[in-house]
Chains A and B, each alone.
Chain A
Amino acid sequence: MTTTSPRTKTPARNTTSAVGDKVFKGMSWTGGVIILVVLAFVALFLLTRSLPAIAPDTFGPGADQAIDFWGYVWPLMAGTVIVSAIALLLATPVAMGVSLFISHYAPRRFANTIGYVIDLLAAIPSVVYGAWGMLVIAPLMVPIYQWLHDNLGFIPLFAGDPSTTGRTILTSGVVLAVMVLPIMTALCREIFLQVPHLQEEAALGLGATRWEMIKMTVFPFARAGIISSIMLALGRALGETMAVTMVLSPGGFSWSLITSGANATIPSEIALNFPEAFGQRQAELIAAGLMLFVITLIVNVIARAIVNSHAKKAEGLS
């Protein structure tokens, strides 16, 4: 980070060059300003456009002509949170395992290649995951849902009619889990590789098995990093659109995870309805998008705060 310190001032030699310096600095500064302006505009435009839906009395057509926005948006928010929670529950243990595998278990020669292969998963476009989830995974899940319903139907999560198409919120969660897996793996792997080697070797030298070494040195060091990578993956899962849109057959809120035509998420609701929407409906959908923006903003800010405090700690250690 020392390279960010100001560069040595160069003496002015001729005026044309001095002008060049000023222009170049001005352009660089403008680049920075544009970023701030764009982000301000994102918030501003979304807010302006969603006011008719959030406060119909003041800005919209009046309360009698508008739907109850909060009543409309809370099932969508609940659905978004549920599907992301499923994805994280499924992806976190696997991502931990894969990153430990790459950092501590895989044969050295293959570790980089494996890391690259996992990174490729992240490069696959979401619409392809959506198609895969819709046409390959959903049919596979049907017998599992039937079994869950028959054997665990007393739990509200598995109550209700099991889906015959497999296009449920649980299937969406599975596809999302596959999508956030590479992100989480990449972040965790970085952190696991940063663990001080002396600590690891000290543990091994004291006779610890490899697993004990990981428990004693890797996990305590990486705890903050693991939490923040989960949060960043959560941010990604909350905003993921296509996989859910294509897999889920949406409906109102339901506790059942195995029923088709139940639950919906904010991004899928927008993607399904926005292309045909106009007027007040458009305002409602943009307002829903604003809610999503706020949720992901909070999640990401928390994650970044953890990362930054961790980075300071890591700098102090090395």
Chain B
Amino acid sequence: MSSQIHSRTKPKTPVQPPQGPDGEKKPEEMTPKNKTSRLDSLTANRKPSWTWVAAAAGSIVVAAIVTALLFESFSIVGFVLIAGLLYIVSMYVTSRVLENRLKATDEFWRHLIWTAFIIALVPLISVIWSVVSQGLPTLLANPGLLTTDMKGVVGADDIATQTEGAPLQGGILHGLIGTVAITVLASVISIPVGLFASIYLVEYANRNAFSRAIRFFVDVMTGIPSIVAGLFAFAGLSLLIELVVGTSPQALQSVKTGFAAALALSVLMIPVVVRSTEEMLEVVSDELREASYALGVRKWRTIMKVVLPTAMSGIASGVTLAIARVTGETAPILVTAGYAATTNWNPFSEWMTALPVFIYRQLVNPTAPAAGDPSMARAWAGALVLIVIVMGLNLAARVIAKNFAPKTGK
């Protein structure tokens, strides 16, 4: 990889390696100076191409020695850090000595930027690896996790699992059903509102004050913290129920439902839908609309039959991304939907558990506080399923956007 960078930074250099075949073919008269040979003059102030190999080898050896002396046990992290640091410094110094300050600085920043990229990859790999390595074995050993809920699973079951090796009880079915129910409900609320609002913005509003206000507040909504959206849905519904039903404890209890969670998620979802749809509608070329009008088609028919179908792939991909975003949300559901151990199919009554909330609860309040391992196993398996769902939605959005790209007619 490094040799590739090396060659990329000097793409236009006329310098050939000293032993290069081209070196001999060129006429001798090209040399400006008599005393130094042609190759020397061209390669002067240029470090040899093998410098990075030498620097890398030297850094690795020195880092290994330093790590062995510094830490009691050999630390791979310390070793990598020291080796990387030594490599960057030694490359800078060689460049500074053999070339000049500008090239050395350039080299130095190039290495720092590659380092930043590698640093950014570490957490991604670490997150995915933790979830897969901890979740997959559990899921493979207990496929029943996907088809059972936590009904009747008590601490004693988990203690038996941990100490006597009894099979893992319970599962994530109620979480899956809750997540699907809440997400579908949130989509049913948000997609029409978002679609119509963006149609208004692009097709009807003439950049008037009202549409500017909508654009501004959509931006503001994008920034609403998810937990505040949860509090909003709770506060709104509890006010409503106080006014309609009364302030009895049962009435106040009935605020927490899957519907409240869906309402909270809608607040997060609507701005995403509006933003992406608006962008896609703007892409549709005016010629298409005008051709339709010229045929005597009404505006609303034009929007339904020409504009929307043209932009459909982009809209669908944007909506899928919005769904993916709210599927992984935890905080708003945590404060609005309560927590149930059994499957609840009805989002309009009783508490409902979503998969992210289930993961959180299992990790923070294990079913058996004394034996947390089974709970942790269920949580990691749930996390794996959740990541698969969210990544699957993201991939689906990509595929939709790519394979059914907008037919702009250009």
Contact = CB atoms under 8 A, between A and B. Distances in A.
Q: Decide whether A and B are members of one complex.
A: yes
A3 B284 contact: yes
A41 interface: yes
Contacts of B114: 101, 105
A246 B364 contact: yes
A271 B221 CA distance: 20
A275 B364 CA distance: 14
A120 B124 contact: yes
A240 B210 CA distance: 31
Interface stretch (B27-35, B142-150, B324-332): B324-332
B127 A29 contact: no
A128 B383 contact: yes
B86 interface: no
Nearest to B354: A127
Contacts of A157: none
Chain B residues touching A, majority SS: helix
A293 B106 contact: no
Contacts of B218: 35
A289 B299 CA distance: 44
B120 A4 contact: no
Contacts of B356: 125, 127, 242
Contact of B199 (A31, A117, A118): A31
B339 interface: yes
Interface in B223-265: 223-229, 231-232, 234-236, 238-239, 252
Given A127-B360, A131-B380, A275-B339, A136 B130 contact: yes
B335 interface: yes
A181 B119 CA distance: 11
A145 interface: no
A49 interface: yes
Residue of A2, A289, A301 with most partner-chain B CB within 10 A: A289
Given A4-B207, A6-B206, A293-B224, A46 B231 contact: yes
> What size tier do the contact residues of chain B reach?
35 or more
Contacts of A94: 116, 119-120
A293 to B, nearest CB: 5
A198 interface: no
A194 to B, nearest CB: 16
Interface stretch (A13-21, A54-62, A67-75, A148-156): A13-21
B386 A128 contact: yes
A6 to B, nearest CB: 5
B64 interface: no
A23 B9 CA distance: 61
A10 interface: yes
Interface in A38-54: 38-39, 41-42, 45-46, 48-49
Interface in A131-176: 131-132, 134-136
Interface string A272-315: 00110010000001100110110011011100100000000000
Nearest to B219: A304
A155 B330 CA distance: 36
Contact of A25 (B109, B300, B390): B300
Contacts of B281: 3
Contact of A241 (B9, B112, B205, B330): B330
Contacts of A225: none
Contacts of A127: 328, 330, 356, 359-360, 383, 386
B196 A31 contact: yes
Contacts of A114: 117
Nearest to A102: B117
Contacts of B270: 35, 38
A241 B286 contact: no
A123 B202 contact: no
A241 B227 contact: yes
A264 B323 CA distance: 30
A65 interface: no
A289 B127 contact: no
B51 interface: no
B113 A97 contact: yes
B106 A49 contact: no
Contacts of A31: 192-200
A209 B106 contact: yes
A186 interface: no
Given A24-B303, A131-B359, A241 B223 contact: no
Given A135-B130, A241-B226, A4 B235 contact: no
Contacts of A232: 223
Interface string B105-142: 11001101111110111011011001100000000000
B405 interface: no
B301 A17 contact: yes
Contact of A36 (B102, B119, B213, B290): B213
With most chain B CB atoms within 10 A of its CB, the pick from A10, A13, A32, A135 is A32
Nearest to A105: B113
A35 to B, nearest CB: 5
B181 interface: no
B90 interface: no
A190 interface: no
Nearest to B123: A178
A206 interface: no
Contacts of B200: 25, 28-29, 31-32
A121 B202 CA distance: 32
A286 B338 contact: no
Contact of B300 (A5, A24, A101): A24
A42 to B, nearest CB: 4
Contact of A293 (B207, B228, B328, B380): B228
B103 interface: yes
Contacts of A48: 235, 239
Contacts of A135: 130, 363, 376
B130 to A, nearest CB: 5
Given A8-B293, A25-B204, A32 B339 contact: no
Given A135-B130, A239-B223, 20 more contacts: A3-B282, A10-B298, A35-B271, A39-B220, A41-B236, A48-B239, A93-B116, A97-B120, A98-B120, A116-B398, A120-B124, A126-B328, A126-B331, A131-B379, A178-B123, A267-B225, A275-B335, A289-B228, A289-B231, A300-B220
List the 10 shortest-distance A-B pairs measured between CB atoms, nearest first: A97-B116, A239-B225, A125-B328, A31-B196, A300-B223, A24-B300, A31-B197, A28-B200, A209-B106, A241-B331
